[in-house]
Amino acid sequence: MKHITKANLLAQVAALFKEHYVLKDGSWYQQKWGLPVVDGLLELPADATEDDITEMIGNYSWTRLVCDQCRRDVAEVVDFDFEIGYQAVRLCGDCLDQARGLLNS
């Protein structure tokens, strides 16, 4: 398990974006628009906001931190090591509290 915050996520967007779209040989995977986006992300200041990053990419898909139970965009989650399908399971504090309540009932 690991704790992920929105701030951690925002700080890693440029690296994650590049990792997702760049192939091992350094070429871009079908997304020619990706290189200017990565360059722009790398030029953003360290304190860039979620809105700054979203504007650079063109959508919010890289800046949302979503709980897999309640589907809300939240400030922090616990990311579990196992995967269901293609994505690790992430739960927010409220949903973890609800799970604890179920265990204690």
Tens place of pLDDT per residue across the chain (105 aa): 899 999 999 999 988 887 877 766 766 665 566 667 878 888 888 889 999 999 988 899 999 999 999 999 999 999 987 766 666 789 999 999 999 999 999
Residue 9 vs residues 24, 25, 38, 63, 87: alpha-carbon distances, Å:
23, 26, 15, 7, 15
Confidence at residue 54, expressed as pLDDT on a 0 to 100 scale: 93
> pLDDT at position 77, please?
97
Longest alpha-carbon distance in the chain = 54
Contact yes or no for 80/89 (Cβ under 8 A): yes
Please report the pLDDT score of residue 38 as a whole number.
79
| pLDDT confidence of residue 75 | 97
